[in-house]
Amino acid sequence: MNIDRAIKIFDVWREWFYPCHLMLHAIFMGGIPESFLPYSVDDLNEALTMVANSHVYDRKITDAIIGTRNFLSLYLNDEEALRT
- 78 vs 84: CA distance, rounded Å: 10
Chain segment 4-61, per-residue pLDDT in tens: 999 999 999 999 987 899 899 999 888 999 999 999 999 999 999 999 989 877 888 8
Residues whose CB is less than 8 angstroms from the CB of residue 28 and which lie 6 or more positions away in sequence, other chains included = 81
pLDDT of residue 13: 92
User: Is pLDDT at 84 greater than 80 in this prediction?
Assistant: no
Angle between helices 41-53 and 59-69 (to 10 degrees): 170
Range scoring the smallest mean pLDDT among 39-43, 69-73, 80-84:
80-84
**CA–CA separation, 12 and 42 (whole Å):** 15
Domain positions in the chain are 3-83
